[in-house]
Structure formats: C-alpha cells, structure tokens
A and B are shown apart, each in its own frame.
Chain A
Amino acid sequence: MTATILSIRAAGPLVTIQDGGRRGLMRFGVPHSGPMDRLAFAAANRALGNTPDAPVIEVSLAGLSLSCEEGEVGIAIAGGGFIVDHAGHKGGSWQVLTLRAGQVLRIRPGFRGSWCYLALAGALEAQEWLGSASTHTMSGLGGGALVPGQMLTVRDARRVAAQDLPCPLIARPRPVVHVTKGPQDRYFSAAAWQEFIQGDWRLTPSGDRMGVRLSGPLLVPQGPLDMPSEPVVRGSVQVAGDGVATVLLADHQTTGGYPRIATVLDCDLDGLAQLRPRDRLRFIPVTGPEAVAMARSRAGVIARFLEGIDRLASPD
C-alpha cells in the first residue's frame, strides 16, 4: 500500500482523465461528460474491484505511452480492439496486468474501436471540477488532457493477477443505431426524413468528444431557421443550415439553435462512439415506448456482463 508514480511519455490529442461524469448540471450549461464508452469504462473499473465511477485514463485513437517510475500498480484495459504493449509483450485491450517500476506500457489503435480505458487498482489523483474528475474538453476543466512529461500519482496502489477480460458483443462498435424522431423534425420534409432513415451514412474525421459530423444525404431544413435556442442531449442529431448532420456526444453544448431531426438512443451511443472515421452508420426509427423497452432490455444484458466481470475480480 504505497504511492505509485506513472510518467506520461507520449499522449495524443483527446487522451484525458474521465470518471463517471457530472450529472444534473445541464441547466447550468454543463454536460455530463464522462467516458465516451461507458460500458468499457465500467468493465475496466469493475475488473479491479474499484468503485464503478473511479477516474481512469481515456485513450483516443492518438494512443498513449507511459512508464512506471516508482512502485507498481494493477491496471485493467478495456474498450475497442486496441494493441497493448506491456514491457515488450503484445496483447489486446480487455486484459488485466500489473505494471512495475521501470516498465513501459503502450496503447495504440488496433483493428477496431476509437476509445480504450485504462483503470488503475488504487486511487488516481486527479483535479476535480464540480465534483467530478471528468475532463470537459472545451474548457479543459476537470482532470484534464494528458501531456508528455506529466506525472500521475496512484495512491494505495495494489498489484493484481494478470488475466484476460471477455469482450462481449454489446461492447463492439455499433453501425446500426436506433433513434426517436425529432424533436424538431417539423423543420424537415417527409422526403428528408426518408433520406435520413434510408441513407447510407458515414462518420467523418471531423469528430471529437463534443460530437461527430456525418457524411451522407444533405438534409436541408425547410422554411426559415427561426428556431430559438433549445436543450440538446448526448445523441441529438443536429442539422446545421447547410444540411450537414452531426451526432452530439459526451461533451456536447447543452442548448443550440439548429433543429434536431432525431435523437440516438443513449443505450446505442457507447457503440456509436466506438465507430471510426469513414465507418458506415444507419439509423432505425423507434417509438418512445420501444426506446424505453430497448433501454431496459440492454440494461439487463449489461448488468449480467458486469456481474461476470465482478466474479473475475474476486473469484471467491
């Protein structure tokens, strides 16, 4: 039980500290933030027996390299299909291992996925803002983006036995997602709605934690764009005046004056976030009751998966 020191050797853009996020503050302009893939985040923390919302490192497609300077610490890596190089041994994301003084850990993109989580067996020291260490990328508030040369301290670090974690189907990138219509669908013609749900969409490289722009049919709003500023959510499909659609994600602005043609179900968003630029995406419309039924069913599947991870973390 001692402090372990990690040194960041390389960290690309959008490699940040995230925890469970800050809730209930959208009325003050503050989105929830937190992990882009909440399922992989939860799996990484629970694989170590951590509290479910403990701060972790969220690794983007830009990759991360760090070394252990002092002490040792168990880590769990989950999310996507990244390539993990631990002291010269190559493996994938979805594993638990112990990092020891002098060892280097590298995480870089593999064959799929955009986000990967590195949880630590111990307490990662991170700056909090409004009760959460999650980085709000627009302001940089919270734990912040990692930069080369930065030192991280893990208090009460524990070592853990190495093992693989299961990556279930529900944690895969999700190229087909469900949406409810609107709430500002009145700005779009029936033909535009058909184009939206039949369209062959792709993610563009223009994406970050705030949202991802899509390429596909132009959905030019009809009539004057006289919409006042109204609340938006993670999952809002917002269409700018030029007809280009954007899906809003974890660090979204909380209100906006562009119409939302549809809203992606929250239970599909972790999988959408794991898609990569140029990946295909399709939208399937559902009603409100269907959306709730899907969310409840998905929550059951996720709970069973995470209970399985808990059993791996404490086998007795």
Chain B
Amino acid sequence: MLAPPLLRPVAEHGLLVEFGALMTPEVHERVLQLDAALTRQPFPGFAEAVPGSATLLVRFDPLVADHHSVGAHVLALLGAPFTAPQPRLHEMPVCYDAELSPDLRDVAAATGLSPDEVIAQHLAASFEVSMYGFAPGYAYLTGVPQAIRVPRKPAAIRDVPRGSVLIAGQQCIVSTLTMPTGWSIIGRSPRRVLTGDADHPFLFEVGDRVRFTRITRAEFDWMEGA
C-alpha cells in the first residue's frame, strides 16, 4: 500500500501533490500516473497540471473549485485502478561533429573514457521525458548512464545555439533557444522540440521515451537546411 501524498495549498489557485521529498523512479511514476488520470478525468474548474520531479502541481479556478474539493478529487483518482497510456518513443538525430560538441573531450577526460565511448554510452541509453522547465520546450530527459555523468560546469557559457544536446548529472536536454548554459555540450540535433506546428507545438509529452541516433555532419547540415 502506497502512502497517500501530501497536499499543500499554493495560493488560491493551486494544490501541490507531493509524493516524496526526493525524486526516485517510483515517486516520479506516481506523478505521471496522476497527471495522466487528471487529463482523462478533470474536475470542474481544472486549469492545468504541471509535473515536477516528485510533485504534481494542480492548478484550478478558485471561483469554481477550492483546495479541499481538488484534494478530494485527486485522492479519489489515486484510489481508482488506472493504467497509464503507453508512452511514445522518439528517435532524436544527433550529430557529434567536433564543431558541434565542444565539451565532448572534457566529458571524456572527466569520465576516463574516449570521446567515442562517451558517444556510445549516450546512444545506448533510453531516456524518459521527466518534466519540462527552465525555458519553453526545455524537456528534462532522465537517463544519462552512470559512466558519463558529469556535474554542471562552474560557470555558464553564453549564446549556446538551439538544438544543442546538453548533459549534467542524470539529465539530458536538447535546447530550444540560444541561451547560456552550464551543462556540457556533447552534440547538436537538427530536430526541434518547439516544432513550430500550431496543432502539435511540442515534440514530447511528459512520460515519453527518447533515444538518440547518430547522424553525420552532412546529414545534419542537410536537415538544418531543409
């Protein structure tokens, strides 16, 4: 029997459903299950749900609902049997060309591997879209293999191009904007997480799975130009 989550009021419009204080795969799975259940069975006044590492923020219209009614709905959903939808699998093309992967050698040096071994580890891993954050379309992909985990750099690098494939700790991000970052840049993808398609503006749903597939520089340049 799983312990019920803690329900914390957030101003007049939110309830933070906290499944644990730290992120574990089991805790995060419960976050995603409740998120999916709410999507299928929203309550009157439901505004949006925002998945975090160990919590789900449920936002509501305070003119229609309140913390108590939302909490009761959430607990009822958690008590009912529920099968989460099958996650989709995405293949993200990535080019590891030296010009597009300025930190690949440093990651190799820090982990005692060769650059090709770092690439092989990254390509072998299966990632889960844990959550979005930081900036629009910044999907946190959890699943960087232990062998190539590196901490953030002490200082951020400015003007890192969009599409950069970044790693820090167990997380990987394909950036969507030209921004500063303190994460290690190990490649670049020509595929946009902000798709530009009005009907389907974000490539991933939270809970989806992602694998990277290697492309050559010529393929990268062709896809970037297309």
Contacts and interface: CB of A to CB of B under 8 A. Distances in A.
Interface stretch (A9-17, A25-33, A88-96, A160-168): A25-33
Interface stretch (B95-103, B106-114, B116-124, B135-143): B135-143
Nearest to A128: B198
A255 interface: yes
A27 B67 CA distance: 20
B11 A180 contact: yes
Interface string B25-64: 0000000000100000000000111111111110100110
A26 B140 CA distance: 14
Nearest to B204: A28
B66 A292 contact: yes
B18 interface: yes
B222 interface: no
A138 B47 contact: no
Given A26-B48, A294-B12, A131 B135 contact: no
A180 B16 CA distance: 12
B198 A296 contact: no
Nearest to B56: A231
B20 to A, nearest CB: 9
Given A228-B52, A229-B52, A288-B66, A27 B135 contact: no
Given A228-B22, A287-B9, A295-B12, A255 B201 contact: no
A256 B54 CA distance: 12
Given A24-B47, A183-B8, A266-B11, A292 B67 contact: yes
Given A24-B47, A24-B48, A27-B50, A253 B133 contact: yes
Contacts of A138: 135, 177
A9 to B, nearest CB: 30
Interface string A223-237: 000111111010100
Given A26-B50, A226-B22, A231 B55 contact: yes
Given A29-B133, A229-B133, A291-B12, A255 B48 contact: no
B44 to A, nearest CB: 14
B67 A29 contact: no
Contacts of A29: 132-139
B88 interface: no
Interface in A219-275: 226-231, 233, 235, 253-256, 263-267
B153 interface: no
B23 interface: yes
B192 interface: no
B56 to A, nearest CB: 8
Contacts of B67: 288-289, 292
A23 B131 contact: no
B202 interface: yes
Contacts of B132: 27-29, 254-255
Contacts of B90: none
A295 B63 contact: yes
A105 to B, nearest CB: 33
B11 A233 contact: yes
A103 B206 CA distance: 52
Contacts of B47: 23-24
A154 B63 CA distance: 35
B190 interface: no
B14 interface: yes
A253 B206 CA distance: 17
B68 to A, nearest CB: 7
Given A180-B10, A263-B10, A289-B67, A231 B136 contact: no
Given A30-B136, A228-B23, A267 B12 contact: yes
Contact of B201 (A27, A130, A266, A267): A130
B211 interface: no
Given A131-B198, A183-B16, A228-B22, A233 B136 contact: no
B13 interface: yes
Nearest to A235: B11
Given A180-B9, A289-B67, A291-B12, 19 more contacts: A23-B47, A26-B48, A26-B57, A27-B48, A28-B132, A29-B134, A130-B201, A131-B198, A138-B135, A183-B55, A228-B53, A230-B53, A231-B16, A231-B52, A233-B59, A253-B135, A255-B52, A265-B11, A292-B66
12 contacts: A27-B206, A131-B198, A136-B136, A180-B12, A228-B23, A230-B52, A233-B11, A254-B132, A255-B52, A288-B12, A288-B66, A291-B11
Which are the 10 A-B pairs with shortest beta-carbon distances? A255-B133, A288-B9, A228-B53, A231-B57, A29-B132, A230-B52, A291-B12, A183-B8, A295-B12, A288-B67
Interface of A: 23-30, 130-131, 136, 138-139, 141, 179-180, 182-183, 226-231, 233, 235, 253-256, 263-267, 287-289, 291-292, 294-296, 299
